[in-house]
Amino acid sequence: MEPGVIRKLDEVVVNRIAAGEIIQRPANALKEMIENSLDAKATSIQITVKAGGLRSLQIQDNGTGIRREDLEIVCERFTTSKLKSFDDLSSISTYGFRGEALASISHVAHLTIVTKTKHEKCAYKACYEDGKLKEAIKPIAGNQGTQITVDDLFYNVPMRKQALKTPSDEFQRISDVVSKYAVHNPHACFILKKFGESAAIRTQPKATVVQNISAIYGAAIGKALIPIELKDDILQLTVHGYLTNVSFSLKKGISLTFINHRAVECGALKKAIDAICSVYLPKGTAPFVYLSLELNPQNVDVNVHPTKHEVHFLHEEQIVEKVKLLVENTLIGGNAARSYTQALLPGAPQPLESSKSNESLLGGDEKPRLDYKFVRTSHSEQKLDKYFNISGAGNSQPKEDAHEETVLEPKLTQASPARKKKATKRETRLTSVHNLRQRIESEMDENLRKIFRELTYVGTIDRDQVLIQYDTQLYLVFTQRIMLELFYQLLVYNFGNFERITFSEPLELKRLAELALADPESGYAGEEDGPVDELAARVVEILVEHADLLREYYALSIRSDGYLESLPKLLDNYIPSVVFLPIYIFRLATEVEWTEEEECFRTFSRETALFFSRIALTKPETEYRWELEHVIFPTLRNQLFPPKEFARNGCLLQLTSLPELYRVFERC
């Protein structure tokens, strides 16, 4: 058999092979583009993804941009602004340096660049294919910075495209890349979202590493972090980072490693840290670790892998040993303050819990479910009230009867059931209301949404605190904060469709305003703020002026002579505490922004939600307990879109879980 003839490959084939080494999947392309944005001193980076990045992957930054005269060659191989000679590789301090990223992308996708520098009068748009311009560069309107759009990735390499995983898996890989760089670069604002959806990752500009870890990986991890610091002049090594303490662990560990600000994998370092952590953490669990190592650039070879996810450096064994001892000393220091029950905020993967909370009693591998995996699912089971001497506890009397026994001054009467059947819901077309709804949905936390949808009501502690159970976790809920958001959302989503809670006798607004001014909460400082009579009259004047709007959209009826006839009914079987009615009326006049439509609806809804969420000390104990269990929390399950803020402001705290309690008993 004759030997094969050696031929020189066609340049197009060569470039596509090279592109395949660098751009293995959408996440690799995004990593290269993020690094270019950071090299361009960007402080805002927004990524938009379609179909896991295969259909479209767009990154927009506010960096220095690309000069008009450089656009012709920017997608050719080995074109870069980072190097001038080979010797520069020994001291490279930027992310990109080989000039292959954009070239490689252009050989396997349709690439479009829109860019503007500080000194140019307009932006320029350029489209590329196989490293070359497809058409003339066009001047267009645009902001300073660069927007790169990658469409139809691997359209000409079908085998590579078929080998990739599902769009959701690819999006998760993209999310991992963005998460790492967002944590390591807290000075920049990162936003990652799927096309047409709300942001999956959003960090704030000029944040801290800890704040970004909490925002991305969960507040529970953020609260458990211990700082790591080391400086070794002999090895020319500086280490800083964070590690979760020994009271916190994850089923699957999370490791973020940066060497000279580049996200890399270092097998020896990871193995050493895992070995140390296995001594101090429960079996089968791992920590969250973020490490940033800074070495002398002359000691690091960053050019050993096409995707630059591996690096080689001098004195590797000594450096790994140094970091290993540092981690061990940090864990030993944290062990002294070890706690056996944790107050964890939701929003991150739980330490020992499987994400499959709806598994049957037999797991996926048909093994019997352990005792601490059993959860209560029936509302008829025993509640906390049984163990306290609470009058009327457990008595699920009809709420209408409870109100007939309660004397409220002034007396409020709900709309009759007959009227409720006749009401037909009308949909608003006001853009301002739709904007408020979209804002609620964009700020929703999916993890918290799942908790509220599947919660089990355990019991009422007092007017401000309730215990709930989700799966095997026990949470403490601060009711007024939760109710405040619930009533606000009810006001926004039921806009223009409220029934009335009417007063048995209309109330004089001026008298209510005078009562409010006597309340320290009003902030009235005495005659220096003006006479009470004049201020009360001004309150009446403002509310009467907007009476038509309040009646039309909110069923809050005010007569032209200054008398209040009704309030909106937000929930069946729930009447607000009239103790706070004077201050509510006063705040409607002083705190609502009446001059701008969207702000008017938002501030009115916030003030009304505050009024409805407050439980007066005069309200009978059995009444507010009944309302919380049978009215408020069933509504929370079905209608609340919990905002991400709930994971940070302490209104929902995890007290403990069955696995945590079992771990305590095992140590005893």
Say what the pLDDT of residue 427 is: 84
pLDDT-based confidence at 334, cuts 50/70/90?
low
Percent of the chain with pLDDT over 70: 76
pLDDT-based confidence at 209, cuts 50/70/90?
very high
| DSSP letters spanning 277-336 | HHHHS-TT-B-EEEEEEEE-GGGEE--SSTT----EETTHHHHHHHHHHHHHHHHHHHHT
Say what the pLDDT of residue 310 is: 57
Highest mean pLDDT among 50-59, 240-249, 415-424: 50-59
64-78, 314-328, 380-394, 448-462: range with lowest mean pLDDT: 380-394
> Rounded CA gap, 177 and 171, in Å?
10
For residue 613, the surrounding DSSP H or E stretch is helix 597-613
For residue 61, the surrounding DSSP H or E stretch is strand 56-61
- Would the pLDDT of 312 be above 70? no
pLDDT, tens digit, for every residue of 495-525? 999 999 999 899 999 999 999 988 888 887 7
Count how many Cα atoms sit within 13 Å of the Cα of residue 607 in the half-sphere of its side chain: 21
Q: What is the mean pLDDT of residues 245-253?
A: 85
| Strand, helix or coil for residue 337 | coil
- Would the pLDDT of 91 be above 60? no
Instruction: Sketch the domain layout of the chain as residue ranges.
Output: 11-202, 218-334, 428-656
- Would the pLDDT of 147 be above 90? yes
Highest mean pLDDT among 187-191, 398-402, 480-484: 187-191
Q: Does domain 218-334 have CATH number 3.40.190.10?
A: no
Say what the pLDDT of residue 315 is: 80
Say what the pLDDT of residue 650 is: 76
Say what the pLDDT of residue 264 is: 86
Token reading at 653: 């705290």
User: From residue 90, how far is each of 78, 234, 306, 313 by CA, in Å?
Assistant: 17, 19, 17, 12
- Would the pLDDT of 612 be above 80? yes
| Strand, helix or coil for residue 537 | helix
Q: What is the mean pLDDT of residues 8-27?
A: 62
- Would the pLDDT of 126 be above 90? yes
Token reading at 214: 């909490």
> Rounded CA gap, 107 and 72, in Å?
15
Say what the pLDDT of residue 60 is: 95
Burial of 540 (0-12, 13-18, 19+ CB in 10 A): buried
pLDDT-based confidence at 664, cuts 50/70/90?
low
Q: How many CB atoms lie within 10 A of CB 118?
A: 8
| DSSP letters spanning 3-26 | PPPP-PPPHHHHHHHHHHHH-SSH
Q: What is the mean pLDDT of residues 158-177?
A: 88
261-275, 597-611, 628-642: range with lowest mean pLDDT: 261-275
- Would the pLDDT of 127 be above 60? yes
- Please state, rounded to an integer, the average pLDDT across all residues of the chain: 80
pLDDT-based confidence at 555, cuts 50/70/90?
very high
Say what the pLDDT of residue 83 is: 44
Q: What is the pTM of this model?
A: 0.49
Select 11-202's CATH number: 3.20.110.10, 3.40.50.300, 3.30.565.10, 2.40.170.20.
Answer: 3.30.565.10
| DSSP letters spanning 173-236 | HHHHHHHHHHHH-TTSEEEEEETTS-EEEE--TT--HHHHHHHHH-HHHHHTEEEEEEEETTTT
157-161, 190-194, 635-639: range with lowest mean pLDDT: 157-161
Q: What is the mean pLDDT of residues 594-603?
A: 94
Say what the pLDDT of residue 355 is: 38
**According to the 3-state scheme, what is the secondary structure of 466-481?**
EEEEECCEEEEEEHHH
For residue 564, the surrounding DSSP H or E stretch is strand 563-569
229-238, 276-285, 374-383, 544-553: range with lowest mean pLDDT: 374-383
Torsion of CA 653, 331, 658, 637, to 10 degrees: 30
pLDDT, tens digit, for every residue of 454-477? 888 888 888 888 998 888 888 889
pLDDT-based confidence at 173, cuts 50/70/90?
very high
Q: What contacts 490, CB < 8 A, 6 or more positions away?
A: 570, 571, 609, 635, 639
319, 271 contact by CB (below 8 A)? no
Q: Which one is predicted more confidently, 20 or 627?
A: 627
> Rounded CA gap, 459 and 437, in Å?
31
pLDDT, tens digit, for every residue of 389-436? 444 444 444 444 333 333 335 556 554 443 444 456 788 889 999 999
29-33, 142-146, 158-162, 207-211: range with lowest mean pLDDT: 158-162
Say what the pLDDT of residue 305 is: 44
pLDDT, tens digit, for every residue of 351-367? 444 333 333 333 344 44
Q: What is the mean pLDDT of residues 372-382?
A: 51
Sequence letter at residue 243? L
Say what the pLDDT of residue 598 is: 93
> Rounded CA gap, 96 and 37, in Å?
10
Burial of 472 (0-12, 13-18, 19+ CB in 10 A): buried
Percent of the chain with pLDDT over 90: 41
- Would the pLDDT of 265 be above 90? no
Q: Which one is predicted more confidently, 8 or 392?
A: 8
Q: Which one is predicted more confidently, 281 or 386?
A: 281
pLDDT-based confidence at 663, cuts 50/70/90?
low
